[in-house]
Amino acid sequence: MAEANQLFKEFKIQSVSEFFRRNAAMLGYTGKIRSLTTVIHEAVTNSLDACEEAGILPYVRVEIEELGREHYKVIIEDNGPGIPEKYITHVFGKMLAGTKAHRNIQSRGQQGIGISGAVMFAQITSGKATRVITSTGDDSIIEAWVKIDVDRNEGKIVKKEKHPNPKGWRGTRIELEVKNVRYVRSKQGIYWYLKLTAIANPHAHIELIEPDGKLIVFPRSSEDVPEPPVEMKPHPRGVLTDDVYRMAKKTRRSSVKRFLVGEFSRISDKKIDELVEYIAALRLIKTEDDKNVQEQLYERLMEGEVKAVLRSFKGYTKVVKQVAKLMDKPPEKLSWHEAEEIVEAFRYMKFLAPPTHGLRPIGEENIEKGLTNILKPEFVTAVTRSPKVYSGGIPFQVEVGLAYGGEIPGGFELLRYANRVPLLFDAGSCVTTLAARSVDWRRYKVDDLDRAPLVLMINVISVHVPYTGTGKQSIANVEEIQNEIRLAIMDAARRLQTYLSGKHRRLHQAKRRRTFEKYVPEIARALSVLTGKPEEEVKNYFLSYIEGHFAAKEAGGAEEVSENA
């Protein structure tokens, strides 16, 4: 039998970087086309987030240079705020680090893995460091070559130069060499990704230089920079015991009461009094020996009958006073058990839904601008639903854009987004796909969805988008989110139905008009012979009558459509 020391000889602590180096597919680096698109995705989302937080209209330039077979240099440049020199290694070389991952805030990236994952992918496929050129607009430009120390999950600069900045350039340019990838113009490639990004971000100017040197420009159609998202306090229904315990140790509030009121949303002084009663009631219920009685008391507590539950125990006021003292103690002295009691009480209490002021939708006007600018449809509409919450008290919002006809080719196209970021892969398991296919499109005069010149855009925004995996390409099938998507789609589809009804009616009237006008010359000749009136005069009379008749019909139809809308 092997000794324990022998068994543990190969025991090793694995860093985050080492884990993702071995499991790059979890970050989206799987397949030659998808891997290249993922590199671009991570860099572009960083650029857009940085520009928006700094109040800058984004300019993003992507260049793909072919160096050999399945070997490319990828260059992404933006006009963002730049990166201070001391943060370069953290941004590009340290996983699970960033300005947004630790904050309760809506952002395109949520994990702090993205761009450092791209740097690692370049490093493990080409062996080359990533070249970073950046300036915050001061008198110098920093040029650094960054690699990741996988064992330590740290970035290291292998070479650095500082250059003068006489023109005050500000922004960031990164250059990565990647191998075993392919550039193709498919619906999972870079061109399509940037096209969809331009639709959801009409305020961004995006350029792409393809490997053959062709320049493609997606110009901005809006001059308004979206307001940066606001950090939101956690909601009581969405926290764990560990969250409360850790937050209590870090806060500077003077008491547990002030900590709960100040660090959480929807908790007031009045709510603290209620919390005290619920904690006291839970403590008393647990002293009940009869399990049936205990279950009945839990049910009454769930129904909000906390005062009645308290009164069913003798000496309950003593327990309430004990819990009240808990609220006055310093937060750093809060025990795990006490944090557990607080969170358990949260589960029984009723709270207002979390505030949604931190969500930043694209907006109906901007969705219509983006779809019109890129797709050139004959009809476009957009719907932005009111914010809602899904399980755990997490706020989210759904937006839908619908474009029909014009330059859109036949065949239904679903454009999926999360926080304005295009989702190109894993569509089959995504809640957006399930919701779009669950709608009966025939009710809205779309008889054959798969052949219709129809583009449906769905954007789900949230502080925490419930992705199905770390690759962030598919949204989990959460019931509340699916219902909101369906309602938004049906709202937009009703507007399409109104448009198509009017279009069909106009086509029918035009056909009837041509039929009448076809027989006017023959009728005019016959009536001229019978009445002695000039043939041209009779002909003009009937043409004028037909024109007036169909003009009245068209006006009546337009009024009817307006009333129905």
Summarize the annotated binding site for ATP as residue ranges. Answer: 46, 78, 99-100, 109-116, 472
How many CB atoms neighbour CB 350 within 10 A?
9
**Residue corresponding to tokens 């009710």:** 443
Please answer whether residues 309 and 293 qualify as being in contact, where contact means their C-beta atoms are separated by less than 8 angstroms: no
**Residue corresponding to tokens 């706020």:** 395
User: 247 phi and psi, to 5 degrees?
Assistant: -65, -35
Burial 277-287 (b: 16+ CB within 10 A, else e): bbbbbbbbbee
CA 195 to chain centre: 16
Tokens representing 381 are 């509409």
Please report, as a single letter, which amino acid is at residue 366.
N
User: Could you give the angle at which helices 241-250 and 336-348 cross, rounded to 10 degrees?
Assistant: 120
**Residue corresponding to tokens 């959801």:** 200
Quote the CA–CA distance of 191 and 412 in Å, as a whole number: 19
**Residue corresponding to tokens 């650095």:** 160
* Binding-site residue positions: 46, 78, 99-100, 109-116, 472
Quote the CA–CA distance of 191 and 214 in Å, as a whole number: 11
How many CB atoms neighbour CB 333 within 10 A?
11
Those residues with Cβ within 8 angstroms of residue 38's Cβ, 6 or more apart along the chain or in another chain: 27, 28, 29, 118, 121, 471
Bridge partners (DSSP) of residue 382 are 401
Please answer whether residues 237 and 216 qualify as being in contact, where contact means their C-beta atoms are separated by less than 8 angstroms: no
Residues in the chain: 565
**Residue corresponding to tokens 């337009």:** 558
